[in-house]
Amino acid sequence: MLMRLKGGRIYDPANADTGKKRDVFIEDGRLVKPGRNQKIDAVIDVSGKIVMAGGIDIHTHIGGGKVNIGRMLLAEDHADNRVRRGRLTRSGSGRCTPSSFITGYRYAEMGYTSCFEPAMLPVNARQTHMEMADTPMLDTGAYVLLGNDDFFLRLLKAGRDQQLINDYIAWTIQATQAMGVKTVNPGGISAFKFNQRQLDLDEKNRHYGLTPRTILTALLTAVADIAIPHPLHVHGCNLGVPGNVKTTLDTIAAAQGRPMHLTHVQFHSYGQEGDRNFSSAAAEIAEAVNSNPNISIDVGQIMFGQTATTSADTMMQYAGHAHAHPNKWVCMDIECDAGCGVVPFKYRDMRFVNALQWCIGLEIFLLVDDPWRVFLTTDHPNGAPFTSYPHLIRLLMDKSFRNDMLKRIHPEAAGASHLASITREYTLHEIAILTRAAPARSLGLTDSGHLGAGARADIAVYSPDKNVERMFSRPAYVFKNGERVVKDGKVCALPKTTTHVLRPDYDAGIERSLKRYFDDYMTMRLGNFKLSTAELESYNESALTVQPGR
Amino acid sequence: MTTLHDITCPFCSLLCDDLSVQARQRRLQVVNHGCVLAARGFKQAPPGAQAYAHQQPVSHTEAVKHAAILLKKSRRPLIADLGTDINGLRAALHLAELTNAVIRHKYEDSTLHNLNVMQTGGGMMTTFAELKNRADVVVFIGDKITTKYPRLLDRFITTRQAQFLPKGQRRKLICIGQASRQEKIKLGESLLHIPATGNGLLNLLTLLKCTLLGQRGTDQNIAREKLKKLKQASALIQAAHYPVFIWSAAALPADSADLLIRTITDLIAKLNQRQRAAGLALTDNNAGGSLQQVATWQTGFPAGLRFTDGFPDSQPDPYTPYPAECDALVWISSLERDTPPTLDVPGIIISNNQAVRKGATIYLPVGTPGIDHAGNLFRADAVINLPLKKLRDSELYSTGAVLKQIIARLQAISGC
């Protein structure tokens, strides 16, 4: 069946369309260029509306152990925000850490069609994928977390060949059905288990004698060697520590020109100037991003209000537990693999540090020149729930609104920030890059994030509104694989979805060392650790999409 | 006859996945790495495939239809026991949402003890591989923990295979409560046993906490011998690199369980200000931990869950195992063998044990997860999720499949 979306204004940066009026044709779930005499079976009039590819969130904690601990811990959030089942939709609850079904519906109702879980522990891959299988409406994928796992650290300490490390990483990607590789506080989660409380880029893990720089270098090399499309996804050392800008700049330098993605960089852009020893280093970070084309970032913008911080970075989450609001927190050492820490937090506009964090995130967005290398995130739920994206987009697109908001925050923080003097306003074209085209390109998804022929027909149609927050909160239509799944901001159909995975090659000989290690030290058999395609597909009877290497 | 290896055992939440199981036609026998629970569980004969409605044999489809009609009439069903795999639990929660049911796991009480403490304070926790590789001192709190988790000692505590312990070092086990025979025999001199029961346990733990944190505690009414041992325990914990405190809420005195768990978690949190230490709250057998995980991600309500008018909701206080408002029972039991509660309401029994069909309004036989069909369960440390394999030919449906059939039928007749 051939369907025509007629008369929309197309924002499709990947194909250099900026607000041009163009019809879009859909057939068998894909965008097509119809033949001259081909019969059109259905027409949907989208005249005057704004048409973009479906949104893609490159970094959102939607599945896995720590998110679920967050849900368990924040009972108040769930009791106060209950959602009734609908004719089609399941029930659920939660605003900060929504339950899985609600997560899927709310993303779709903003025009998003794909989301990527950025911190899947290898030993927790099954849970992560199961939760994502219960997250409807969205295509998903996950980055597997490495760099604190003892098998890897033992290889590195023993000075083993990079090829062996590459084999291990490629094997892990396949065994856990991952889409990329992430590292969190490289070596630091392990160091915390040996009672180290901080670890800078060139400090040694007490047990292994390895520095984060060494670990980072090995991982960067592996990701390049095994041709993973998405650069190594890096949550660096010293998250949240005043003065951590130096570590972040050193980390950028440590990449030595190799592609690297720095995630939630807002939390890593702090100086120590001023009476309060806390200042914005957004300008230095933006300058470093601007002058290093190998670096991409997502921001991890904070928004004021209650949320839960959930991270694999046990070292820094433990360090921050005294700030828990409400006063309860969970930290966990996990299975010689990594860890997790969940600390509920309330960002307050009249608290100097939080107000400045808000400014720092916005400054980074506005000072980085190339929109293809900065992605729109709140590091859901760490900076704020993902449902605040429309508000964030308005802050970026509307200077007078931004300045009005700036007047409401702690005055000293506003005074300590350059935000008021920044005149840049993002355009719709640029927002389409940040939220669609750039994430797709970074992930190597050639058939998503754009509206060219051959692309998946994942489309969001918005009604123009001067208040872009309202506009992005309630799309007129969302199409998933060509099926209309949202109408007037409400879910109207449940589409089939897919899980994106990679299949990098490795020498099967790695399993001999792994089997010995598993038999001696781990608590499950190697064969049972591996998550098979058949098992994963059984979770919601959907097929995987294998993405090609770079 | 074939021997299958690396089989996961679903009969306690340790989920040991190194079993060898001999299959002779449909008969299974554990031949390596078994325990008393595994031996019994794998030996169980499958039920016949015959379904019943109102004590009469009926076709499976007919029984599903009767179940759907019964549930359509019910205003508040009780879905109980819930010993099944994750797919079964996912379907059970869907059914509960559609029928405004109350969800009650067999061991819900002990899940709630841990949850009450977690939701008001949190905790500093660990998993089995950290225990095995890192823990130099292990503290058991409660009564005979290894009875419910038979291979806990062998797999993670008495084993000498550890990455971060000096070669050959034996771990010290401190047991506060009643030690099991196994603990006494296997640990020998490595066991420091401080017997306690009832309120005595809380007194001892409070005093241990005070001693470790340099606070004043009262040692009245505690025998001198115990005080001496408590001091020894305190010194061992203080000198340890990674002490791990293990408890199972079900093995604590019910009336003081919340307070006991809070005392332990507070102690661990404070110890971490200067050294590393962690807790390990073993989740319950019979899929107790799995239900908590699935209910949390699907609804945001980990336990004490019911649905009201299509909303997920918490059971109001006071908590009762079988609320009087329930007018029908759905009893799901495909792991631990047990008998359904005697309630004066019609019952749909979905079980792998045909002996329980008597008294059921509707009986639907199902297979055992990890024997008759594949599946998954969460392990007792609440992070690891392991695959269960299908080990024999079986014409039995899985619990998940049966529940989905009932849901489809219910939706068809009620248009929901």
- Which two tokens mark A48? 């005057």
Contact state of A524 with B17 under an 8 Å Cβ cutoff: yes
Chosen from A134, A335, A530 to mutate, greatest number of chain B CBs within 10 A: A335
Q: What whole-number distance in Å separates Cα of residue B111 and Cα of residue B101? A: 19
Residues of B in contact with A331 (CB under 8 A): 124-125
User: Global pTM?
Assistant: 0.98
Give me the helix-helix angle, A245-254 and A282-291, nearest 10°: 10
- Which two tokens mark A389? 């994206």
Residues of A in contact with B244 (CB under 8 A): none
CA-based nearest distance B208→chain A, Å: 22
pLDDT in tens, A61-89: 999 999 999 999 999 999 999 999 999 99
Which among A78, A94, A330 has CB closest to B123?
A330
Residues of A in contact with B124 (CB under 8 A): 318, 330-332
Contact state of A523 with B156 under an 8 Å Cβ cutoff: yes
Residues of B in contact with A127 (CB under 8 A): 293, 378, 383, 385
Strand partners, B192: B174
Contact state of B156 with A521 under an 8 Å Cβ cutoff: no
Q: H or E element: which one contains B79?
A: strand B77-83
Q: What whole-number distance in Å separates Cα of residue A168 and Cα of residue A154? A: 12
Q: Each residue's pLDDT tens digit in chain B (416 positions)?
A: 899 999 999 999 999 999 999 999 889 999 999 999 999 999 999 999 999 999 999 999 999 999 999 999 999 999 999 999 999 999 999 999 999 999 999 999 999 999 999 999 999 999 999 999 999 999 999 999 999 999 999 999 999 899 999 988 899 999 999 999 999 999 888 899 999 988 899 999 999 999 999 988 777 778 899 999 999 999 999 999 999 999 999 999 999 999 999 999 999 999 999 999 999 999 999 999 999 999 999 999 999 999 999 999 998 877 788 899 999 999 999 999 989 998 899 999 999 999 999 889 999 999 999 999 999 999 999 999 999 999 999 999 999 999 999 999 999 998 75
Question: Does B332 contact chain A (CB < 8 Å)?
Answer: no
Place of tokens 């999720």: B385
Which among B119, B125, B307 has CB closest to A91?
B307
Question: Does B245 contact chain A (CB < 8 Å)?
Answer: no
Residues of A in contact with B387 (CB under 8 A): 126, 528, 535
Contact state of A335 with B130 under an 8 Å Cβ cutoff: yes
pLDDT in tens, A30-59: 999 999 999 999 999 999 999 999 999 999
Contact state of A521 with B296 under an 8 Å Cβ cutoff: no
Residue A368: alpha-carbon gap to chain centroid: 18
CA-based nearest distance A404→chain B, Å: 36
Q: H or E element: which one contains A114?
A: strand A112-120
Cβ-defined contacts of A279-284 (< 8 Å, 24+): A279/A242, A279/A356, A279/A416, A280/A356, A280/A359, A280/A360, A280/A363, A280/A416, A280/A417, A280/A418, A281/A245, A281/A248, A281/A360, A282/A359, A282/A360, A282/A361, A282/A363, A282/A364, A282/A367, A283/A363, A283/A367, A283/A418, A284/A245, A284/A249
Which among A78, A127, A332 has CB closest to B300?
A78
> Band of the pLDDT at A550, cuts 50, 70, 90?
confident
The alpha carbon dihedral of A333, A336, A340, A341 has a sign of positive
Is the peptide bond prior to B318 cis by the omega test (within 30 degrees of 0)? Answer: yes
Task: Answer left, alpha or beta for residue A498, where phi above 0 means left and psi between -120 and 50 means alpha.
Answer: beta
Start-to-end Cα distance in chain A? 33
Q: What is the pLDDT of residue B221?
A: 79
Strand partners, B350: B332, B364
Place of tokens 């190697």: A526
Question: Does B132 contact chain A (CB < 8 Å)?
Answer: yes
Contact state of A100 with B307 under an 8 Å Cβ cutoff: no
Nearest-5° angle of CA A399, CA A405, CA A410?
130
Q: What whole-number distance in Å separates Cα of residue A359 and Cα of residue A271? A: 13
Question: Does B378 contact chain A (CB < 8 Å)?
Answer: yes
What residue type is assigned to position B23 of the chain?
A
Dihedral over alpha carbons A357, A361, A362, A364 (to 10 degrees): 130
DSSP-assigned states of every residue in A50-61: EEEEPEEESS--
CA-based nearest distance A303→chain B, Å: 23
Q: What is the pLDDT of residue B416?
A: 58
Q: Is the Cβ–Cβ distance between A63 and A71 less than 8 Å?
A: no
Q: H or E element: which one contains B377?
A: strand B375-378
Which among B119, B309, B385 has CB closest to A75?
B119
Find, in chain A, the residue whose alpha carbon is nearest to that of B312.
A92
Q: What whole-number distance in Å separates Cα of residue B376 and Cα of residue A397? A: 47
- Which two tokens mark A217? 């270098």
DSSP-assigned states of every residue in B231-242: HHHHHHHHH-SS
Q: What is the pLDDT of residue A487?
A: 98
Question: Does B86 contact chain A (CB < 8 Å)?
Answer: yes
Which among A79, A87, A99 has CB closest to B297?
A99
Q: What is the pLDDT of residue B361?
A: 97
Q: Single out the residue of A129, A151, A168 nearest to residue A532, CA to CA.
A: A129
Exposed e or buried b per residue across A68-95, where buried means at least 16 C-beta atoms within 10 angstroms of its C-beta: bbbbbbbbebbeebbbebeeebbbbbbb
Q: What is the DSSP letter of B130?
A: H
Q: What is the mean pLDDT of residues A489-502?
A: 97
Strands B311-314 and B305-308: antiparallel
Place of tokens 């020894």: B232
Chosen from B272, B293, B296 to mutate, greatest number of chain A CBs within 10 A: B296
Neighbours of B36 (CB within 10 A): 11
Contact state of B118 with A332 under an 8 Å Cβ cutoff: no
Question: Does B48 contact chain A (CB < 8 Å)?
Answer: no
Q: What is the DSSP letter of A464?
A: -
Contact state of A123 with B384 under an 8 Å Cβ cutoff: yes
Residues of B in contact with A345 (CB under 8 A): none
A15 to each of A52, A437, A479, B44, B364, how far by Cα in Å? 11, 9, 19, 63, 57
Contact state of A85 with B275 under an 8 Å Cβ cutoff: no
Contact state of A123 with B98 under an 8 Å Cβ cutoff: no
Residue B107: alpha-carbon gap to chain centroid: 7
Q: Single out the residue of B167, B378, B153 nearest to residue B246, CA to CA.
A: B153
Radius of gyration of chain A (CA): 22
Place of tokens 């931004």: A402
Q: What whole-number distance in Å separates Cα of residue A153 and Cα of residue A529? A: 19
Contact state of B119 with A328 under an 8 Å Cβ cutoff: yes
Contact state of B299 with A523 under an 8 Å Cβ cutoff: no
Q: What is the pLDDT of residue A539?
A: 94
Q: What is the mean pLDDT of residues A354-358?
A: 98
N residues, chain B: 416
Q: What is the pLDDT of residue B198?
A: 87
Contact state of A528 with B8 under an 8 Å Cβ cutoff: yes
Q: What whole-number distance in Å separates Cα of residue A11 and Cα of residue A25? A: 15
- Which two tokens mark B211? 């001693």
Q: What is the pLDDT of residue A340?
A: 97
> Band of the pLDDT at A511, cuts 50, 70, 90?
very high
Q: What is the pLDDT of residue B181?
A: 92
Contact state of B312 with A91 under an 8 Å Cβ cutoff: yes
Question: Does B126 contact chain A (CB < 8 Å)?
Answer: yes
What is the three-class DSSP state of B38?
helix
B243 to each of A192, A338, B276, B402, how far by Cα in Å? 14, 18, 7, 45
Task: Answer left, alpha or beta for residue B69, where phi above 0 means left and psi between -120 and 50 means alpha.
Answer: alpha
Residues of A in contact with B384 (CB under 8 A): 123-124, 335, 523-524
Q: What is the mean pLDDT of residues A454-476?
A: 98
Which among A82, A100, A123 has CB closest to B298?
A100
Contact state of A336 with B129 under an 8 Å Cβ cutoff: yes
The yes/no answer to whether this complex scores an ipTM above 0.95 is: yes
Question: Does B273 contact chain A (CB < 8 Å)?
Answer: no
Dihedral over alpha carbons A93, A94, A100, A105 (to 10 degrees): 80
